[in-house]
Amino acid sequence: MVSKTKTSAPGKIIISGEHAVVYGYPALLASLDRRLTCIFDAQTKGQEINSSVNDLTYAWKALKICERSLRHKFPNVKITIDSNLPVGSGMGSSAALAVAFAAGFNRLARNDFDLEAINNLAYRIEKVRHGKPSGGDNTISAYGGFLWYRKESENLRTFSPIKIKRKLPRLYILDSGKPIESTGEMVAGVKKDTATFMAMEKVTRGILRYLTGEENVNFGELMTENERLLERLDVVSPQTRELIKKIEKLGGHAKISGAGGAKKGSGILLVLHKDSQVIKRLAKSVNCAIIPVKLGGEGVEVENG
Ligand code: MEV
């Protein structure tokens, strides 16, 4: 029986299709090279979770769901969480925690690495965090790379890895500020809007054809179109809209990525500009951090600790 293990799972960005994906429309997701790591030690006395970054209430709920789902009690387990994913900013920190927990407890209880089982368990944990997740965030964190994702129904969540056939333009991640609202509140605030979701699907399909080299579309313009549709859903704050307008005036493109935020900060922005200096100057002038990332990081990893 394994008593120690170390798991890690990547964060994510949503290239296109957030919110619409909750209602069964497709989304394009990419994992990041930034990760959340958990060290599990099942040889301690009692249960203990330590983290300097993540929400411990959520982590405790995740532990209880793992125990229930795996029908296995872990009366003695110490979990130490470490992460370089900012919490609640759209980079998938909670989904990475769900995946890393699911992988860790799966290993301790069954000594196996069943990616589908890990992803399904992580989806159950995500449901506790926000009532009706699409399952996209945990799936990209589990599998990594680039994914086309769609939730057809509660029990049929389909996805396919995408082979990127062209050199991706350099994307910057700009932090527009931590949203006041939680992901759950943002998702609950978006009502079914078929016209907007269908328009978003068209954009998502356009970006897919661009990434796979099937069509020479203007990636930046599609990003801007996606942003306008997200603004129609009221998930981008006035302050963030202003920042995005500034980027557009400077010849760039930008969109929120993830649940967004309507009151103040809207989490991370994906920014495209051919001149990195322009973005760096702008970020400095508005006091926003640029977060360096690479897309397409490895999915969940498990090691014996
Ligand atoms: C959050 O990262 C993405 C949303 O589409 C919610 C979800 O897919 O569960 C807003």
List, for residues 104-118, the tens digit of each pLDDT value. Answer: 999 999 888 999 999
CA-proximal residue: ligand 1, atom 8 (nearest): 134
Contact present, 101 and 74 (Cβ < 8 Å): no
- pLDDT at position 54 over 80: no
Per DSSP, the residues of 64-104 read HHHHHHHT---SSEEEEEEE-S-TTSSS-HHHHHHHHHHHH
Q: How far apart are CA 181 and CA 169, in angstroms?
A: 31
Mean per-residue pLDDT for 49-63?
Answer: 92
* Residue appearing with tokens 């429309």: 25
Tell me which amino acid residue 255 is: K
DSSP 18: T
Q: Mean of the per-residue pLDDT values for the chain?
A: 95
Specify the pLDDT at position 305. 64
Q: How far apart are CA 294 and CA 171, in angstroms?
A: 9
* From 14, 192, 197, mutation site for ligand 1 pocket: most ligand atoms within 8 A of C-beta: 14
CA-proximal residue: ligand 1, atom 3 (nearest): 258
Mean per-residue pLDDT for 9-20?
Answer: 98
Contact present, 270 and 282 (Cβ < 8 Å): no
State the distance from the centre of ligand 1 to the C-alpha of 226, rounded, in angstroms: 15
Specify the pLDDT at position 168. 86
Q: How far apart are CA 289 and CA 252, in angstroms?
A: 17
Tell me which amino acid residue 300 is: V
Atom of ligand 1 nearest to the CA of 260: 10
* From 28, 139, 187, 190, mutation site for ligand 1 pocket: most ligand atoms within 8 A of C-beta: 187
Contact present, 211 and 165 (Cβ < 8 Å): yes
Tokens representing residue 262 in the block: 């309507």
Tokens representing residue 242 in the block: 């202003």
Q: What is the pLDDT of residues 160-206, one digit of tens each?
A: 999 999 988 889 999 999 999 999 999 999 999 999 999 999 999 99
DSSP 154: T
Residues with CB under 6 A from ligand 1: 14, 18-19, 21-22, 90, 133-134, 136-137, 183, 187, 258-259
* From 12, 16, 21, mutation site for ligand 1 pocket: most ligand atoms within 8 A of C-beta: 21
78: Cβ contacts below 8 Å, ≥ 6 apart: 40, 41, 44, 47, 48, 49, 50
State the distance from the centre of ligand 1 to the C-alpha of 18, rounded, in angstroms: 5
CA-proximal residue: ligand 1, atom 9 (nearest): 133
Indicate whether this model's pTM tops 0.95.
yes
